[in-house]
């Protein structure tokens, strides 16, 4: 299993994006490409080549699910790419729906900045465990 390094993070809320980046970079030691919209993610994905996507679900314009659909339509989601949605709605039915869309897991909002990186890593681990 490759170690997780590059995470692309799409979130429209500036404050949340800032705090999550800090959590992932400073606490988790990850390299993060933060995007404020799905559109930006689609522009920057080629150059950054992320191993994992973190997508906010509700965003103006392109929301998380449609960003995921477009990313995979354009071939950026491979068997080795993990995807996690971040959302305040974590009803079991919703989680099932997101997983059907191709998400590996769902991270509940509000998240704890101190443990966010751990959560992301354990999703990555579980995802790779499933592959092997």
Partner 1 sequence: MADSTNPQAFAARLEKLAAAYSKRLADDFSHLTMLAGQLEEDPSCTQSLQQLHAALHSLAGSAGTFGFVQLGRQAREQELQVAQNLEQPCNDKQPLPVFEWITALQKALKTDESKKSAIRIETSRAESVGGEPVIWLVERDTMLAEYMVQQLHSFGFHIRHLLNAEALADDKNSSPDLLLIDHRASQLEALRADPVTFWQQHLKDFTCPVLFIGSEESFTARLNALRSGGQSYFVKPLDMINLASYMAQLIKTKDTVPERVMVVEDDEELAQHLQGVLEEAGMHVTVLDRADALFEAMHDANPELILMDLWLPDVTGTEMAALLRQVEQWAQVPIVYLSSHFNSELRDQALLKGGDAFLEKPIDPDLLINLCRSRVKQRRKLEDTQNRDSLTGLLKHASIKEALDYQWQLTQRKPQPFSVVMLDIDHFKAVNDTHGHAMGDVVIAAVGTLLRQRFRSTDRLGRYGGEEFTLVLVDCTADHAERMVNNLREDFAAIQFTGGGNPFACTLSAGVVDNQHFPDDTAESLLNRADQALYQAKNSGRNRVCLAID
Q: Contact residues for partner 1 (CB under 8 A)?
A: 13, 15-16, 18-19, 22, 26-29, 56, 58, 60, 86-88, 90, 108-114
Find the shortest distance in angstroms from Cβ 58 to partner 1.
Answer: 6
Find the shortest distance in angstroms from Cβ 21 to partner 1.
Answer: 11
Find the shortest distance in angstroms from Cβ 64 to partner 1.
Answer: 12
Q: Which is nearer to partner 1, 79 or 93 (CB)?
A: 93
Dihedral sign of CA atoms 63, 35, 121, 5 in order: positive
Q: Which is nearer to partner 1, 67 or 87 (CB)?
A: 87
Q: Which is nearer to partner 1, 60 or 129 (CB)?
A: 60
Q: Which is nearer to partner 1, 75 or 92 (CB)?
A: 92
How would you classify residue 88: left for phi > 0, otherwise alpha for psi between -120 and 50, otherwise beta? alpha
Q: DSSP labels for 15-63?
A: HHHHHHHHIIIIIT--EEEEESSHHHHHHHHHHH--SEEEEES--SSS-
Tokens 């993070």 appear where?
9
């Amino acid at each position: 299993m490759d170690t997780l390094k590059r995470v692309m993070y799409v979130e429209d809320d500036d404050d949340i994006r800032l705090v999550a980046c800090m959590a992932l970079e400073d606490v988790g030691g990850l390299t993060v490409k933060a995007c404020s919209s799905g559109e930006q993610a689609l522009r920057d994905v080629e150059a950054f080549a992320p191993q994992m996507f973190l997508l906010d679900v509700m965003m103006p314009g392109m929301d998380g699910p449609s960003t995921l659909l477009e990313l995979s339509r354009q071939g950026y989601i491979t068997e080795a790419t993990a995807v996690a949605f971040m959302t305040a709605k974590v009803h079991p039915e919703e989680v099932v729906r997101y997983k059907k869309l191709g998400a590996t897991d769902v991270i509940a909002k509000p998240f704890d900045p101190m443990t966010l990186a751990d959560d992301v890593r354990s999703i990555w681990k579980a995802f790779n465990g499933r592959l092997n």
